[in-house]
Structure 1
Amino acid sequence: MRVLAAASCAIAVALFSHPLLAQSKNYGPGVTDTEVKIGQTMPYSGPASSFAAIGRAMGAYFQKINAEGGVNGRKINLISIDDAYSPPKAVEQTRRLVESDEVLAIVGTFGSPSNFATQKYLNAKKVPALFLGTGANRVSDPATFPWSMGWQPNNHAKGAIYGKYLLKERPDAKIAILFQNDDFGRDYVRGVKDALGSKAASMIVKELSYELAEPTVDSQILVLKSSGANVFVNIATPKFTAQAIKKVAEIKWDVLHLISDASFSISSTLVPAGLENSKGVISVNFRKDPSDPVWKDDPGMKEYLAFMKQYMPDLNAQESLYAFGYATAQTFVHVLEKCGDNLTRENLMKQAASINNLVLPIMLPGIVLNTSPTRYTPMTQEQLVQFDGEKWVSVGDVIDAEK
């Protein structure tokens, strides 16, 4: 019996030490023992090229992670391609990433048009599209698109936060709304109205839209001013927001001006609009502002600025879009760490849908990330901020759109 037992043990050891039989690693496309290959498209050219800062920061952060040994011993290989903010180009480049480059996942692709154009394809192929750079509600709808997930608070949530603020602080406001005529603008407006509830009809005195192809929104501003509104909710991208801020100042419209967080950047929006003209505008924010001296001794900000100095030394560390990309990349690294050696597309999606109270060092205090299989919106909280002519200053407490 002792001989038989010894023989059995020897066979078991031989079996489990065999390289094929001992294999506990489970890999999907783009994964080896030394690498995880992911992809994204970004507007490195075209009308939204200022947002390319997000892709540059993500690439630089992955360089940092790789220099420190990677994630679970694997380097992150990010293939980032220009889509020129063109939906057909985004589809073409995304197909290349999936079918030729064979990436594990799409991570951080910016823009609603690009993500809408590729969403059905990626879901049909069961390729994770994670932490996408859009606040559009439909990228975080697990019932319809189980392989797509946004990152920042969605546009409905942002609009709801504005609505909650106005209901509390300006209950007698007369509100004029300008919005981009697409899902971005319409989701935002719906959030404002939902938060205002039964008072929406009486508080909102005028709504106008604009098309991306229009050269300016000057005519819309004149019509909105004539409505008698004393609050202006401006749901536009940087170019049109800068135009609106200039025009409001030019016609001396005395109004509380709320702008979308898509136009939060001081360098990309407020500088072109004129810093003096921009004084007093309000936006929403969830990350610490590198230009705000209040964070100069903050450990998370020191870590971010050290990263910028080492990995992006020739770029403006005060540009908030770099912080956006930095935090997006940190979120993906967190999920990748949770995957361990089970790096299939299915497990990557499973781990992305089970984030529990993740706190990122560059986020404002009180901002946490949470997901579940039925909740694909990692963030629902933001804080209102007001521009004082030099920097954004916090207004009140963090507001949660869902509470």
Structure 2
Amino acid sequence: MRSLVGAAACLLAAALLAPAAAQPKYGPGVSDSEIRVGQTQPLSGPASAYGTQGRIATAFWKMANEKGGVNGRKVAMIVLDDAYSPPKTVEQTRRLVENDHVLAVVNSVGTPTNTAVHKYMNLKKVPQLLISTGASKWNDPVNFPWTTSFYPSYEMEAQVYARYLLQNQPDAKVAILYQNDDMGKDYVHGFKAGLGDKAKAMIVAEASYEVTDPTVDSQVISLKASGATVFFNIATPKFAAQAIRKTYDLGWKPVHLLASVSSSIGAVLQPVGPEKAVGLITAMSYKTPGDPTWDNDAGMKAYLDFMKAYYPDGQPADTSNIFGYSANQLLLELLRRCGSELTRENLMKQATNLSGMQMPMLLPGVTVTTTPKDFNPFRKLQLARFDGTSWNLFGSIISAQ
């Protein structure tokens, strides 16, 4: 009799414990029906060309929610305008975290803007996830374990250009235009590191600009006067376009290296005049719409179908749209992998344990890899040259290692 009573007690205890063990774990912004996330974007201001990433995010989650969302939950993406102004970023990010109680802030644009909330997000232990900037500071798991990027490292990209010059134009004279912030300085640092002992001899001029400057015309004039045969254009879209146009107008014909942050055909090269951009060289990690190489590619077809159906006013060739689309695809996968444990801690765990993940719009051979000790998502790039219509890949995939 005692054994039967004991067995019954054990079964009752197991029955009571089983539902508790199966209960989902939710963090802020999560319920049985919704996952709330947010981002800040320059929908206005000097870097408003990047604001299209916010519109892509809204369109992507409209599509994803119509298809069932994430494990039966709809995703509410809250997009706030920070005008690429760090004080405004602080205000809007605090609103997302403290008023909207989002699970995470995802794919916000800009080095200075994300820097303004870097410490705040980590002190609050809120994921600052897949941010759209490649500054080296985002890869700091020890001091900032709640921040990851979704952009190739600026330093790595600059080293790719340096290797190209050392192999093909070792006697080049290089002039550099850069934005005077962490983004621009990371590119310059990586470029000099890539050139190594030859940096002092090869770099003949440098000029910086502030994001509040009206133009960079005077900087380009002074760089041309240096006698440089290579122009490394490290500028955000508005200023990159000005530099391309001024270089053309001056009749200066250097080898023109363009930082990938401004390689968008739709947002930069078409407005400035494609004929003025012929011959530009950039580094790429993604497939380019319009390149016949991808005419029958499933990932490209899905992207173009999405743009036509959910963001018809957007330009498929705009690199911000490609990266925004890909970042939200990755967020969707990370949320799926969280299963019923939709907490900030588990989301970060998933985001920092990606092994050779292939994504539809990335070039073959370019994958996403992160570890708890290394948050840098991209390790490989490929060079491309603009022919007046599209970017043409050349050479082979180049590893950062």
* Length-normalised TM-score, structure 1: 0.95
In structure 2, distance between residues paired with 1:352 and 1:212: 31
- Deviation, 1:5, is 5.6
Paired with 2:188 and 2:219, the residues of 1 have a C-alpha distance of 16
- How do residues 190-205 of structure 1 correspond to structure 2 at under 5 angstroms? 190-205=189-204
1:86-125 → structure 2 map (5 Å cutoff): 86-125=85-124
Whole-Å separation in 2 of the counterparts to 1:308 and 1:277: 28
Q: Hey, what does 2:15 align to over in structure 1?
A: 14
**Which residue in 1 is equivalent to 2:334?**
335
Q: What percentage of aligned pairs have identical amino acids?
A: 50
Aligned match of 1:66 = 65
Could you say which residue in structure 1 is the equivalent of 2:358? 359
Distance 1:56 1:385 in 2: 27
- 1:102 aligned counterpart, secondary structure: coil
CA contact (8 A) 2:112 2:181 kept: no
Question: Within 2, Cα distance between the matches of 1:166 and 1:55?
Answer: 36
Equivalence map 1:3-402=2 (5 Å): 3-4=4-5, 7-8=8-9, 10-12=11-13, 14-16=15-17, 19=19, 21-401=20-400
Using the TM superposition, give the Cα deviation of residue 176 of structure 1 relative to its aligned residue in structure 2, in angstroms.
1.0
Structure 2 counterpart of 1:150, one-letter code: S
Contact 2:172 2:230 in 1 (8 A): yes
Q: CA offsets per residue over residues 194-237 of structure 1, 9 Å max, x none?
A: 11111111111111111222222122222211222111111011
Distance in 1 (alpha carbons) for counterparts of 2:180 and 2:121: 25
CA distance in 1, matches of 2:230, 2:318: 28
CA distance in 1, matches of 2:300, 2:26: 35
Unaligned runs of 5+ residues in structure 1 are none
Letter in 2 for 1:68: K
Asked whether the equivalents of residues 131 and 149 of structure 2 are also in contact (C-alpha less than 8 Å), the reply is yes
Mapped to 1, the partners of 2:253 and 2:112 lie a distance apart of 34
Report deviation, 1:24: 3.2
Paired amino acid for 2:257: L
Q: Secondary structure at the match of 2:116?
A: helix
DSSP-derived class of the 2:385 partner: strand
Aligned equivalents of 2:71 and 2:59: distance in 1?
Answer: 19
Counterpart CA distance in 2 for 1:316 and 1:109 is 20
Letter in 2 for 1:95: R
Displaced runs of 4 or more, over 2 A: 1-6, 21-24, 313-320
Partner amino acid for 2:211?
Answer: L
In 2: Cα distance, 1:296 partner to 1:127 partner:
40
Deviation at 1:38, TM superposition (A): 0.6
How far apart are 1:360 and its partner, in Å? 0.3
> Which consecutive unaligned segments of at least 5 residues does structure 2 have?
none
* 1:70 positional shift: 1.5
1:219-270 CA distance string (max 9 Å, x none): 2222211222111111011111111111111221121000111111112211
Residue 273 of structure 1, CA deviation: 2.0
Structure 2 counterpart of 1:28, one-letter code: G
Letter in 1 for 2:166: L
Secondary structure of the corresponding residue to residue 179 of structure 1: strand
SS for the counterpart of 2:78 is: strand
Counterparts of 2:236 and 2:14, CA distance in 1: 63
The answer to whether the Cα contact below 8 Å between 1:175 and 1:233 also exists between their aligned partners in 2 is yes
Maintained 8 Å contact 1:290/1:320: no
Q: TM-score, normalised by structure 2?
A: 0.96
Provide the C-alpha distance between the structure 2 equivalents of 1:164 and 1:152, rounded to a whole number of angstroms: 20
Counterpart contact for 1:15–1:22, Cα < 8 Å: no
Structure-1 separation of matches of 2:205 and 2:241: 21
Q: CA deviation at 1:328?
A: 0.5
**Amino acid of the structure 1 residue aligned with 2:8:** A
Letter in 1 for 2:269: L
On the 8 A contact 2:46/2:212 being kept in 1, the answer is no
Cα offsets for 1:103-144 (capped at 9, x unmatched) = 011000111121011111111100010000111111221122
Per-residue displacement from partner, 1:304-363 (whole Å, max 9, x unpaired)?
111112211333333332111100001111211221111111111111110111100111
Note if contact 2:52-2:314 (Cα within 8 Å) is conserved in structure 1. no
Aligned length: 400
Q: Tell me, in whole angstroms, the C-alpha distance in 2 between the residues paired with 1:109 and 1:95.
A: 13
Q: What is the identity, as a one-letter code, of the residue corresponding to 2:185?
A: R
Q: Which amino acid aligns with 2:67?
A: E
Letter in 2 for 1:64: M
| C-alpha distance after superposition, 1:370-389 (max 9, x if no partner) | 00111111113211111101
CA distance in 1, matches of 2:133, 2:14: 52
Q: Check 1:360–1:230 CA distance in 2 against 1; reply closer, same or farther (3 A cut).
A: same
The letter of the residue matching 1:340 is: G
